[in-house]
Amino acid sequence: PLIFFGEGFEDLKKFAKKEKAPIFYTPREAAYAINLLINRKKFLNRKANSIEN
């Protein structure tokens, strides 16, 4: 995930499109997305552990 403020935004948009990476416009958006990813990883780990047992 990329978070960016200021100049050079068009270059960043091109880079993000090329790398297939999301862009977050505020720190709050970035924090929310990171929190979702962490929670998803925890969920998948618990699910994998319950299948093994």
Residue range 6-34, pLDDT digits in tens: 677 788 788 888 998 888 778 888 889 88
Give the list of residues 6+ apart from residue 29 with CB closer than 8 angstroms, or none. 3
Domain boundaries, the chain: 2-52
Proportion of the chain in helix, strand, coil states, percent, rounded to 5 = 70, 10, 25
Which pLDDT value is given to residue 25?
A: 76
Query: CA 34: distance to chain centroid?
Result: 5
3-class DSSP assignment, residue 39:
helix
- Closest by Cα among 30, 36, 31 to 2: 30
Q: What is the pTM of this model?
A: 0.57
